[in-house]
Structure 1
């Protein structure tokens, strides 16, 4: 099985948010050397937790400082933007790293309603036009003509070249699965959004409704999971407390930087909080490399996947890099 990475550039308490960007660049080089297949970065806005607000900019730096790994967005929230502008950005990225660029797109705002409005006052209507945006984006990215009669049929996205980005549809519902199937595009399911609820139905819909395309004659699906490996199960569980603390804040509408395991352990939780934490621990893929690898292989076999994307948060960037190194060794990636 191939392993890939989703990096959300998480802010850490007591450190500048810009440190998260530097950590992302360091992790990308680390995972490139370890043998990971893809390195995807996310788009979020007005968040004190996830500060990767411009994936196309971060991708340029990653693409220029890595040599092998595919680099992508997971994803660009397309309704905020012009499809032409996104196509131009990713054509430039393709020039930086030919044959290594993935263009993952989603329909969700990646923020609250006010921030979505600030990004694009027409965002609500734009979300309804998402299928047309995807169609236009596919044409401009590939260099193929738009449909006859299209008002922008004369426009081309530059720079042109012998290679092109691969477009992925991202989602956590049946909508994205059906859209990806309709257009014959690869599909990535955000498993970690809902601890896997709905994944079987979404993948079944995607595969059963898939319409082969010239570039993708067969369906290509993956999922993104949250996982963490450490030298011992106890250490992995200790590191997990950082995410548990964040999750409780998230449920209360807070978007705060990650705190240390020590600060998380000292936090006072009510009964409802403790129940949420217990549920998170039951479903969390944490432990030694062998334990986490076994869970990932089992999940991949269950869902018929040959690739899984791993998202990992830790307070200490070194612990995150070590987790990815342990899983790379367990899967013999290099």
Structure 2
């Protein structure tokens, strides 16, 4: 497969809340990022769903996206994704139909089957609802029925209207996958496939998932053609040394998550000063190895290789940095470098 030119790039935001900041500031920074991403030429601004994490303010992506819909005009807005087992499908259908009314024609609904949190918090989110213990495929089928109004024969809630009513409000669906499981589900549902390479950086598995998905894809009204997005974690700075330094908080955040600690997103200074044991250092460095870290030219080269190797139509990038200015700068450097690298390839090919 030949890479699309230019390769679409998108933003996946986790809405970090750095040490010394607060959620209100984190959300304001997220909205500034959405506006800047639109101005830079990014195709989508997606928000992930995470719970019980003091370092992130993305517990309700729909709220962030609704606010972003009022300060942007062209960039697509979506969840990356709604963790469907945490929610009643009718509630999700209504929420994203309403978002479709706020941002007509530019909403995506990404769906995952992981909880986006620890087991205890997942149980607290789901309460006593037996519905949320149903298989993901059943929940997905119900969501599509509620969202489109097209119910299978004998459905117990046939005729229920997901408000607001109206044509064209139910967005295209994307199925998130980090193991390959979601490829067949996405193909059968006529949804896009979003592979979480930033969680599981297995390039061969991502390619297998993409190929299986394309081979079995069944078109839908909102997704007439197969589409594959691959997600990558990126830290880009003017020099490789700066990028390595900026990535240090990623490792400390992940280490704390493995121990069940909920704390603000660490600063570079905090990560530098932390007294790691050898075992802790291995865990933190292992997380950083999942990310693409470097100067603009190196990051662009590695991203274009990733897109080619995984047969991706698009890359969606998460750049989790405690300093919002550095975070926006990382995205700007990546966009400029990728476009420059594509230009050199085009000139060479010509």
Please say which of residues 196-205 and 166-175 is displaced more in the overlay: 196-205
8 Å Cα contact 1:12/1:257 also seen in 2 = yes
Distance change (3 Å), C-alpha of 1:169 and 1:210: same
Structure 2 residues without counterparts, runs of 5 or longer: 1-6, 341-350
Question: Are 2:189 and 1:183 aligned?
Answer: yes
Corresponding residue for 2:40?
A: 34
After superposition, residues 169-180 of structure 1 pair within 5 angstroms as 169-180=175-186
C-alpha distance in 1, partners of 2:29/2:88?
30
C-alpha distance in 1, partners of 2:119/2:287?
27
TM superposition shift of 1:285 = 0.8
Corresponding residue for 1:161?
A: 166
Corresponding residue for 2:80?
A: 74
Corresponding residue for 1:227?
A: 234
C-alpha distance in 2, partners of 1:283/1:110?
18
Q: Among residues 203, 206, 227, which one is paired with 1:199 in the alignment?
A: 206
Corresponding residue for 2:322?
A: 315
C-alpha distance in 2, partners of 1:119/1:278?
31
Distance change (3 Å), C-alpha of 1:247 and 1:79: closer
8 Å Cα contact 2:56/2:265 also seen in 1 = no
Q: Among residues 113, 136, 147, which one is paired with 1:141 in the alignment?
A: 147
Q: Aligned residue pairs: how many?
A: 332
C-alpha distance in 1, partners of 2:86/2:281?
37
C-alpha distance in 1, partners of 2:285/2:116?
27
CA RMSD, Structure 1 to Structure 2 (Å): 2.0
- State the secondary structure of the residue aligned to 1:310: strand
For residues 118-141 of structure 1, what are the alpha-carbon distances to aligned partners after superposition, in whole Å with 9 as ceiling and x for unaligned?
222246762433212212222332
After superposition, residues 39-78 of structure 1 pair within 5 angstroms as 39-78=45-84
TM superposition shift of 1:248 = 2.3
TM superposition shift of 1:90 = 1.0
- State the secondary structure of the residue aligned to 2:138: helix
Please say which of residues 226-235 and 324-333 is displaced more in the overlay: 324-333
Q: Among residues 101, 125, 131, which one is paired with 1:119 in the alignment?
A: 125
C-alpha distance in 2, partners of 1:45/1:277?
21
Please say which of residues 61-70 and 118-127 is displaced more in the overlay: 118-127
Q: Could you state the TM-score of these two structures normalised by the residue count of structure 2?
A: 0.89
- State the secondary structure of the residue aligned to 2:52: coil
Distance change (3 Å), C-alpha of 1:124 and 1:203: farther
8 Å Cα contact 1:117/1:123 also seen in 2 = no
Corresponding residue for 2:347?
A: none
Please say which of residues 266-275 and 147-156 is displaced more in the overlay: 266-275
- State the secondary structure of the residue aligned to 1:193: coil
Please say which of residues 245-254 and 150-159 is displaced more in the overlay: 245-254
- State the secondary structure of the residue aligned to 1:134: helix
8 Å Cα contact 2:198/2:291 also seen in 1 = no
Structure 1 residues without counterparts, runs of 5 or longer: none
TM superposition shift of 1:205 = 2.9
C-alpha distance in 1, partners of 2:116/2:319?
19
8 Å Cα contact 1:80/1:123 also seen in 2 = no
Q: Could you state the TM-score of these two structures normalised by the residue count of structure 1?
A: 0.93
Corresponding residue for 2:102?
A: 96
TM superposition shift of 1:214 = 4.2
8 Å Cα contact 1:71/1:101 also seen in 2 = yes
- State the secondary structure of the residue aligned to 2:302: helix
C-alpha distance in 2, partners of 1:129/1:247?
29
Question: Are 2:273 and 1:266 aligned?
Answer: yes
Please say which of residues 123-132 and 265-274 is displaced more in the overlay: 123-132
Please say which of residues 116-125 and 14-23 is displaced more in the overlay: 116-125
TM superposition shift of 1:282 = 4.7
Please say which of residues 308-317 and 164-173 is displaced more in the overlay: 164-173
